[in-house]
Amino acid sequence: MEMRSTVTRPLHGYHPPHLRTSLLLALFLGVWYSQALEMITGKIPYLEAVNGSTVLLPCKYASCVGIEDLYFRWSFNDTDPSNKLCDGKIKDEHTEPKTTVYKDRVEFVGSTVDQNVSVLLWNITFEDGGVYTCYGKNLKEKGRNHNATFTLVVVDQLKVVDNTLTLIIASCVGGAIGLLMCYVLLKNFTLWMIAKMEERNKECLVTSSGIDNTENGLSGSKSTPKVTPKKA
């Protein structure tokens, strides 16, 4: 802890010029966003869930320069900012967030340790379907903010896809692929065998032709006898 604070303070003093130049540079290079605060709701920010179930609204934050008084907020159908589910503040990397929950059935389950500000939404109803926004604002990055959305679709029951046809197609395709592979393997093996045999034959031919060459060299060209001593 103490080591860290002594390290971050000089860095902190360095930030303004460093930030300004890197911002300018990054604006040209277009890489600034990889350094700034980011809120992440996952690779597939979409979930279909049955009414009455409990869902996790996932959100993580990331910032290369670290956080300080990070404010975060979960809201629903963002058109109305009062549709807050939950918000909170995280003082620094070592402090657990102070959170306020504004809606029944919402439970904060995040933690600073894994930079997680996810919430659980208990016993969902059809009215819960919509777009959830995870918003973050980092004081350490001069109030830079970012948000990510997560779409929840509430369904009566999860669609049971009739897999029979898929299975048939899959096994047909699988069988075909298997046959093809057998064929390819067999073909390759045969080709390999032929190649091996040819190689052997070639070896025989080469050695015999080598002898032939020396014999020829004796009778004619000068280049061939030069080659054969090298081989030996």
Ligand X SMILES: *[C@@H]1O[C@H](CO)[C@@H](O)[C@H](O)[C@H]1NC(C)=O
Give me the residues that bind ligand X (CB under 6 A), please: 51-52, 56, 58, 60, 77-78, 105, 109-110, 114, 116, 118, 122-123, 127, 130-131, 133, 135, 147, 156
- Going by DSSP bridges, is the β-strand pair 119-121/106-108 parallel, antiparallel, or unpaired? antiparallel
Residue at shortest CB range from ligand X: 52
Alpha-carbon distance of 96 to 206, in angstroms, equals 78
CB of 24 to ligand X, least distance (A): 21
52 or 175: CB nearest ligand X: 52
For residue 86, CA distances in Å to 73, 94, 169 come to 6, 21, 47
Determine contact, residues 217/225, Cβ cutoff 8 Å.
yes
Alpha-carbon distance of 183 to 189, in angstroms, equals 10
CB of 176 to ligand X, least distance (A): 40
Q: Cβ of 216: how many Cβ atoms within 10 Å?
A: 13
136 or 140: CB nearest ligand X: 136
Determine contact, residues 13/122, Cβ cutoff 8 Å.
no
59 or 65: CB nearest ligand X: 59
CB of 11 to ligand X, least distance (A): 28
141: DSSP letter: G
For residue 85, CA distances in Å to 4, 41, 74, 99, 107 come to 34, 16, 5, 11, 9
CB of 144 to ligand X, least distance (A): 12
Determine contact, residues 92/68, Cβ cutoff 8 Å.
yes
CB of 52 to ligand X, least distance (A): 3
62 or 214: CB nearest ligand X: 62
Opening angle at CA 69, ends 31 and 85, nearest 5: 95
CB of 156 to ligand X, least distance (A): 5
CB of 71 to ligand X, least distance (A): 11
12 or 103: CB nearest ligand X: 103
For residue 217, CA distances in Å to 143, 204, 227 come to 87, 19, 10
65 or 150: CB nearest ligand X: 150
109 or 170: CB nearest ligand X: 109
